Amino acid sequence: MERKLLRQRVIEFSISIQKVVKQLEQVNQYVISKQFLRSGTAIGALVFEAEQSETRDDFIHKMKIALKEANETRYWLTLVENLISLDNGIAEDLLIIIKILNKRIVTAKLNRPKKKREKD
């Protein structure tokens, strides 16, 4: 259930970002719009990629990268909010995604199989 929720959220978030990018480009903020688009849509791509991970450690690694992209997106969103008026709840959506990513990482770490000790 949570997996589907996160997938849907990142898709909707990416669509919201594209709408904001259009607004930014109308006021000639191309550099910020490209950075915001790149980091914001990377979150979803990494979530989808993590779901196809071969190992638990690979899943955790990809989810951590998604979380880093989400935090970078927070930075760009702060700049965006100072340039244009936003009323689409994108900041709240991003915080929810960050919370879900954190929870998924913690849960995956807790459920990670114990590694066997190698004999010397």
Three-class HEC string of 9-64 = HHHHHHHHHHHHHHHHHHCCCHHHHHHHHHHHHHHHHHHHHHCCCCCHHHHHHHHH
Question: What is the pLDDT at residue 87?
Answer: 80
DSSP 119: P
Q: Identify the CA nearest to 73 among candidates 48, 90, 88, 49.
A: 90
Query: How far is 104 from 120, CA to CA, in rounded Å?
Result: 35
Residue type, 42: A
pLDDT per residue as tens digits for the range 92-107: 999 999 999 999 999 9
Which domains are assigned to the chain?
2-110 (1.20.1440.60)
Q: Do the Cβ atoms of 53 and 59 come closer than 8 Å?
A: yes
pLDDT per residue as tens digits for the range 35-82: 999 999 999 999 999 999 999 999 999 999 999 999 999 999 999 999
| Residues contacting residue 103 through CB under 8 Å, at least 6 positions apart | 2
Sign of CA dihedral 56, 5, 85, 21: positive
Single pTM value for the model? 0.88
